[in-house]
Amino acid sequence: MIKPSVYIKDLSKHVGEEVILKGWLYNKRSSGKIKFLIMRDGSGYVQCVVVKNNVDDNVFEIADKITQESSFEVKGKVREEKRAIGGYELDVIDLKLISLSQNYPITPKEHGIEFLMDNRHLWVRSKKQVAILKIRHRIVKAIRDFFDSRGFVLFDPPIITPNACEGTSTLFEIDYFDLGKAYLTQSGQLYAESGAMALGKVYSFGPTFRAEKSKTRRHLTEFWMVEPEMAFYDLDDNMDLAEEFLEYIVQTVLEERREELKELERDTSKLEKVVRPFPRITYDEAVEILRKNGVDFQWGNDFGGGDETIISEQFDKPVMVHRYPAEVKAFYMKRDPQNPKLALAVDVLAPEGYGEIIGGSQREDDLETLIQRIKEHNLPQEYFEWYLDLRRYGSVPHSGFGLGLERTVSWICGLEHLREAIPFPRMIYRNTP
């Protein structure tokens, strides 16, 4: 057995005991005959104190020579220590070097983004990145827990698809044997709809791909999306669910990842406010807000990034904007019976300028109307025959939405850029490491 006797996060249960820890050297400070080694093991950080007069010469020699990010094993006695990070310290008895690291590129000073991105495989070891990745994991778990405990069934759509879901965005093209071109999915929604007709309430959760030449802090070419789809839900039911969902995610992270949020210096008072009910405004009301704020906005257009910021700044909670002009929305969205120019769509804008994190709608459930929409959007109907079947065989009103995982992580962590919200971001000018 080579695994350590205990992990750093559990040291509080071992005060006064001798333990063996294994990990990497995060940083080292020294003051003559006493050396301070900060070990990280993935679960946390602990300061190991090596005093020359208390250890064998060869142990002190190792403490002297060990370099940043070298892997090592340490035997020592756990002691409470208010001065140290984490509140506990290890009085070192023995040290074993596992592998010496030489010239680790990421030093304890500042680095530029290009360098850090080139070294992303090492950058993920840094404190801030570790905190973000732990929060990302907790968000993913919260998402799954939320749906799993409410009668939803996980329904995995294909990644390789024969056509565009929405027909507009650019797709990544691949050669698919003798069948010609295929594409990487940009949404699992249409497939999720078939799942909803089979299982009632489903969600899909996986990577999606957009070959848009976007070059902003809000875009990745590969990102993760969770897409619930519910039979017998109208737009209001859909919004109720989205609201409860977001509250659950944010409050869960606040409860369970407080340490990590602190490490990121996140202003948690902003997150505390994310509780139901969220403001709900119509597209028309949003346009009014823009005009009051001096934006010369043309009715019928979609909101740009700057517009979204202005709208969301009016509120300290996520704001739900519903009933958009049908022209700017996808073909599958149902029109508002009260006003056929409007689609029963909803976007949820995160506060603090983080923009759209959810897009959803009630789906068109009438066969003839949907065929008409496909024609209007100049989409090849033959590719959508299977989708039309969902309206031929027991069509029901249904709704769903998609939540962008990285945008959610970015917002909750208070990040400047989406690229830190995923281990290995894929962007227009970067697909390495």
Which residues here bind RNA, judged by CB under 7 A?
27, 29-34, 36, 47, 49, 51-53, 67-68, 81, 83-85, 89, 103-105, 107-115, 117, 168-169, 187, 210, 212-221, 223, 225, 302, 304-306, 308, 328, 355-359, 402-404, 406-407, 417-418, 427, 429-430
CA distance linking residue 100 with residue 384, whole number of Å = 58
Measured from the CB of residue 29, what is the shortest distance to RNA in angstroms? 3
- For RNA, the closer of residues 250 and 395 by Cβ is 250
The phi, psi pair for 228, rounded to 5°, reads: -80, 150
- For RNA, the closer of residues 256 and 352 by Cβ is 352
Q: Using alpha carbons only, what angle is made at residue 255 by residues 251 and 256, rounded to the nearest 5 degrees?
A: 120
Edge-first strand order for the sheet with 173-175 is 160-161, 181-184, 173-175
Q: How far is CA 65 from CA 20, 71, 72, 289, in A?
A: 20, 12, 12, 63
As beta bridge partners, residue 112 has none
- For RNA, the closer of residues 336 and 406 by Cβ is 406
- For RNA, the closer of residues 306 and 380 by Cβ is 306
Measured from the CB of residue 324, what is the shortest distance to RNA in angstroms? 10
Measured from the CB of residue 414, what is the shortest distance to RNA in angstroms? 15
**Bond before 277 cis per omega within 30 degrees:** yes
Measured from the CB of residue 217, what is the shortest distance to RNA in angstroms? 4
- For RNA, the closer of residues 110 and 382 by Cβ is 110
- For RNA, the closer of residues 62 and 395 by Cβ is 62
Measured from the CB of residue 409, what is the shortest distance to RNA in angstroms? 10
Measured from the CB of residue 134, what is the shortest distance to RNA in angstroms? 20
Measured from the CB of residue 122, what is the shortest distance to RNA in angstroms? 12
Q: Which two tokens stand for residue 253?
A: 């992270």
- For RNA, the closer of residues 336 and 420 by Cβ is 420
Measured from the CB of residue 392, what is the shortest distance to RNA in angstroms? 26
Tally the residues of the chain: 433
Measured from the CB of residue 309, what is the shortest distance to RNA in angstroms? 8
CA distance linking residue 35 with residue 51, whole number of Å = 7
- For RNA, the closer of residues 292 and 417 by Cβ is 417
Q: How far is CA 221 from CA 123, 157, 370, 430, in A?
A: 21, 19, 29, 10
- For RNA, the closer of residues 103 and 378 by Cβ is 103
DSSP 351-419: TTTTEEEEEEEEBP--HHHHHHHHHHTT--GGGGHHHHHHHHTT---EEEEEEEHHHHHHHHHT-S-GG
Contact 99, 73 (CB under 8 A): no
CA distance linking residue 318 with residue 334, whole number of Å = 24
Q: Which two tokens stand for residue 421?
A: 């919200």
CA distance linking residue 79 with residue 209, whole number of Å = 50
Measured from the CB of residue 179, what is the shortest distance to RNA in angstroms? 27
Measured from the CB of residue 28, what is the shortest distance to RNA in angstroms? 7
* Residue 134, H or E segment: helix 127-148
Residue 27's identity, in one-letter code, is N
- For RNA, the closer of residues 395 and 408 by Cβ is 408
- 24 closest CA partner among 59, 65, 68: 68
- For RNA, the closer of residues 12 and 216 by Cβ is 216
> Percent helix, strand, coil in the chain (nearest 5)?
35, 30, 35
